Chain A
C-alpha cells in the first residue's frame, strides 16, 4: 500500500509539472504569436472568451505571473481549455471529448495486444535461443526503425483501393453516429483494422527484444537449474519459473515507455485521417490553433499518467515483494 501511495504522489506531481509546463511554454516564447490570431477573430470573440484566452496565453500584462497561474488553474478545474480557432467557436474541451474515445480504443487495445504478443514471442525467442526465432530479431529491428506513419502510408498504398475491404481513412462510415449498435460497431472495427495492424507491426519488436534479453538473463539463474534438476517439464520451467520472473522488468518498462509509444501512434491517426486526438493535434498545428494543441497535450499526458498508474497496479499484483513492505 505504501508503494501505491508513493506512486500516486509521484503521478500527481508529474501532472502538476505537465500543467505548469503547459502554462509556461507560451510565456517563455519571444514575441507574441497569438496576438495576431486574437486580432483576427476580434469581431467574433465574446469578451469572456478573450478574457479566457488572455489567461491561457499570458497576454494580460496587468496581472503578475502568480495571479495568472492561479487563474489558469481555476479555468482548468472548470474544464475550460479555451476556444478552438479551427472549429470556432467550439470549446476545446468539447472537441477533445469527441475525439478521445477513438484514440483510447485504437491505441489502448493495440498497445496491450502488442505487449502481449511481443512478450510471448520474446519468451519463445529467449528460451529457444538458436532456433528459427533468432531470425525474428533482424526483421523486427528493421520494422521498428521505420516511422509508424510511413508504415501507415505503405499500408494504405498496398491494401486499400476502390475494391478493397479495408477503407483508407476515417473512423467509421460517413453518416453513422457513434453508438453501440449493429451498424456502427462493425464499421468502426473495419476502419480501425489497418491502423491497428500498422501500430502492432511497428511496436511489437521492442517488446520481443527486451523480453528475449530478460529471458536469456533469467535462464542462467540457479533456480532454473534446480527446476530442471527436479525433472519439471521444459514448458513448466519456461513459463512458471523463467518467464514469470523475466516479466517483471518488462512490465515496468511497459509503463515507462508508454509516453514514447503514444507519441508514435498519434502519427498513425494522421495518416489514416482517424478522428482521434492525434489527428486533432495535426489539424490544430496546421491552423496554428494553440488552445486546441495545448488541450490535446494535456489530455494525452493525463491519459498516459493514468495508464502508468494501471501498469503499476499490475506490477503490484505480479511482484509479491512490493506488497510485503506495506
Chain B
C-alpha cells in the first residue's frame, strides 16, 4: 500500500511546522462535514431524551397518524410519538457505537501491534486468531451469543460487538507494524536500549495513529449497524429505545401494509446519515494519509493552443492549477 510511505513521511515533518499542520485534517472538506454531522449526533445523544416532546413509550389516542404539527413524525400503533422515540433512541445508538468501537480498537492495537512487532511464534498464533475471527460471520455469531444471554443491556451488546469485530483492524495494524519495525528510527530506539513497550508506545503508535483512527471509525459504523440489526430482529434491552426498536415495531405492526411510511423512514435515514458522516471522516483520514486518493477535480484541460488534453492519473492534482493559470 502506498500509505506506508506517507505515514513514515508524516513523522519527519520538522517540529516548527507541526503547529500549523495540526488542523490540516479538518481542512479536508469531507472530514469536516463528517465531523460536524457526528457532532450533532453526539449532542442529540446527550440532550435527546430531555428535549423529546413526549415520553417515547407513552401511549396516546391518535393511532398511526401521519406527521402533523402535534406529532412531527406521526404516531405508532399505540399512539406513541415517533419523533420522541427517534430522539430518545440516539443515546443508545451513539453509546453502543462508541463503546464497541473503543473495545475493538484497544483489542486490535494490543493484538495487531504485538503480532507485528514481536513476530515469530507469537505472531503466528495471534494472526491465526484474528483470521479465525475474520472469517467466521460476525453477525450470526453476535446473534448466537446475545440470544443466549438472559438480558441484553446496551453495554453488554456493545461488549459482544466489540469482542467480535476487532479482527480486521488487527490485521491492518499488523501489516503496518511489520513495515515500520525495520525503519531506522525504530532500530535506533532499540539500539539505545529502549524497552519494548516504550518502543511500541512512543515510536510505533504515533505513526499508526491514522490507521487506528480509521479502524475505530469503521468499527463504530459496524457496531451501529449491528446494534440496529439486532434490535430489528428483537435482540435488545427492554428499557431503552434505539432506532432498531422503532423499525422492529414498524415491521411487526405491518407499517408497510398500513402505508405508514413515517414510521420506518426517519429511523432509516437517521442511520444512513450517521453512517455517511462516519464514512466521510474515514475518507478524510484515507486522503490525509494518501493524498493521491483525493478526487481530482476537472482533469480535462484546455492548453494555450486550444487543444483539450485529459490528464492521466499518476500525476498529483496540483499540476492542474499551474496549467489553468
- Which residues of A are interface residues toward B (Cβ below 8 A)? 10-11, 13-14, 17-18, 21-22, 25-26, 29-31, 33, 126-131, 134, 137, 141-142, 144-147, 149-151, 153-154, 156-157, 168, 213, 215-217, 219-220, 224-225, 228, 256, 258-260, 262-264, 266-267, 270-271, 281-282, 285-286, 288, 290, 293-294, 296-297, 300-301, 304-305, 308
Q: Which residues of A contact B147 (CB under 8 A)?
A: 285, 288, 290, 293
- How many chain B residues sit at the interface, stated as a range, is 35 or more
B280 part of interface (Cβ distance < 8 Å): yes
B268 A146 Cβ-Cβ under 8 A? yes
B268 A297 Cβ-Cβ under 8 A? no
What is the interface of chain A mostly: helix, strand, loop, or mixed? helix
A147 B139 Cβ-Cβ under 8 A? no
Q: Which residues of B contact A215 (CB under 8 A)?
A: 313
B233 A154 Cβ-Cβ under 8 A? no
B264 part of interface (Cβ distance < 8 Å): yes
A260 to B137, CA, bound (A): 6
Contact among B137, B233, B295 with A301 in the assembled complex (CB-CB below 8 Å) = B137
A262 to B141, CA, bound (A): 12
B271 A145 Cβ-Cβ under 8 A? yes
B148 A33 Cβ-Cβ under 8 A? yes
A57 to chain B, nearest CB (A): 10
A296 to B137, CA, bound (A): 12
- Chain A residue nearest to B316 (CB atoms) is A220
B225 A147 Cβ-Cβ under 8 A? yes
A285 B233 Cβ-Cβ under 8 A? yes
10 further contact pairs, Cβ within 8 A, besides A14-B136, A130-B298: A18-B136, A130-B295, A130-B299, A145-B273, A150-B267, A153-B247, A259-B136, A267-B233, A293-B143, A297-B143
A286 B234 Cβ-Cβ under 8 A? yes
B140 A300 Cβ-Cβ under 8 A? yes
The contact string, 1 if C-beta is below 8 Å from chain A, for chain B 143-177, is: 11101111000000000000000001000000000
A25 B297 Cβ-Cβ under 8 A? no
B295 A134 Cβ-Cβ under 8 A? yes
Contact among B148, B261, B293, B298 with A157 in the assembled complex (CB-CB below 8 Å) = B261
Q: Which residues of B contact A18 (CB under 8 A)?
A: 132, 136
A30 to B149, CA, bound (A): 8
A282 B233 Cβ-Cβ under 8 A? yes
Interface centre among B148, B271, B279, B296 (most CB of A within 10 A): B148
B144 A25 Cβ-Cβ under 8 A? yes
Q: Which residues of B contact A308 (CB under 8 A)?
A: 135
Across the A-B interface, the 7 shortest Cβ-Cβ residue pairs? A145-B275, A263-B139, A130-B299, A130-B296, A150-B268, A220-B314, A259-B137
Contact among A150, A220, A285 with B264 in the assembled complex (CB-CB below 8 Å) = A150
Q: Which residues of A contact B145 (CB under 8 A)?
A: 25
B88 part of interface (Cβ distance < 8 Å): no
Q: Which residues of B contact A217 (CB under 8 A)?
A: 1-2, 290, 292
Contact among B144, B229, B278, B317 with A294 in the assembled complex (CB-CB below 8 Å) = B144
Q: Which residues of B contact A271 (CB under 8 A)?
A: 251
A217 to B250, CA, bound (A): 45
B213 part of interface (Cβ distance < 8 Å): no
With A17-B132, A18-B136, A297-B140 known as contacts, the answer to whether A285 contacts B286 (CB < 8 A) is no
- Chain A residue nearest to B134 (CB atoms) is A256
A10 B128 Cβ-Cβ under 8 A? yes
- List 29 A-B residue pairs with CB atoms under 8 Å apart, sorted by A's residue number: A10-B131, A11-B135, A17-B136, A18-B136, A126-B313, A130-B296, A137-B295, A141-B276, A141-B279, A146-B275, A149-B232, A150-B264, A150-B272, A151-B268, A153-B250, A154-B264, A220-B314, A256-B168, A259-B135, A263-B137, A263-B139, A263-B140, A266-B140, A267-B139, A285-B143, A290-B148, A297-B143, A300-B140, A304-B136
B138 part of interface (Cβ distance < 8 Å): yes
Contact among A156, A168, A281 with B143 in the assembled complex (CB-CB below 8 Å) = A281
- Chain A residue nearest to B171 (CB atoms) is A256
Contact among A22, A151, A267, A300 with B137 in the assembled complex (CB-CB below 8 Å) = A300
B86 part of interface (Cβ distance < 8 Å): no
Q: Which residues of A contact B9 (CB under 8 A)?
A: none
